[in-house]
């Protein structure tokens, strides 16, 4: 019988088809987009909602894409979803309203940092920086690391 890796985060106790913030184990992980789709998923109110999903080359797990992440990827790669395929994004664990979430850190496929303004309903606009990465590390700050071979 094959044994799984010993869990160290709560999110690892209940694996599913979607990546959870705890599964990143505090690391930045770079993955390659292989598909972008729209799916009907159950919302927090137990009603079906249309949600964007990303599929990646490196893992069978998908990412349910919140609007913040969608706006961030659009700023890096444009509005044509077909042009996102084959592009790499670096994911990192963050928090939103006190809850763990996954955000986009940047990409090795952009030449320079890009400042993005995120405008969401009933929220003040805020800014995020999409970091240009070189071999898994930010182009400017070599102290932050992105794990390119991490398993999810």
pLDDT in tens, 110-125: 999 999 999 988 889 9
Other beta carbons within 10 angstroms of residue 78's beta carbon come to 12
C-alpha 59/C-alpha 41 separation (Å) is 20
Give the best-scoring range by mean pLDDT among 97-101, 108-112, 130-134.
108-112
pLDDT in tens, 63-97: 999 999 999 999 999 999 999 999 999 999 999 88
C-alpha 24/C-alpha 19 separation (Å) is 8
Beta-carbon-side half-sphere exposure of residue 106 (alpha carbons within 13 Å): 25
The pLDDT, as a whole number, for residue 135 is: 61
pTM of the full structure: 0.82
Report yes or no: 58 and 83 within 8 Å, Cβ to Cβ.
no
Is the pLDDT at 23 greater than 60, yes or no?
A: yes
């Amino acid at each position: 019988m094959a044994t799984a890796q010993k869990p160290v985060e709560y999110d690892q106790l209940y694996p599913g088809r979607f990546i959870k913030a705890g599964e990143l184990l505090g690391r930045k992980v770079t993955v390659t987009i292989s598909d972008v789709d729209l799916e009907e998923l159950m919302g927090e109110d137990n009603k079906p909602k249309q949600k964007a999903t990303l599929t990646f080359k490196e893992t069978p797990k998908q990412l349910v894409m919140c609007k913040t992440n969608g706006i961030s990827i659009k700023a890096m790669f444009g509005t044509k979803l077909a042009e996102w395929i084959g592009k790499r994004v670096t994911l990192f664990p963050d928090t939103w309203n006190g809850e763990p979430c996954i955000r986009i850190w940047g990409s090795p496929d952009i030449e320079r940092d890009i400042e993005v303004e995120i405008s969401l309903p009933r929220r003040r606009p805020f800014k995020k920086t999409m970091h240009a990465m070189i071999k898994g590390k930010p182009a400017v700050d070599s102290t932050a690391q992105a794990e390119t071979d991490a398993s999810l």
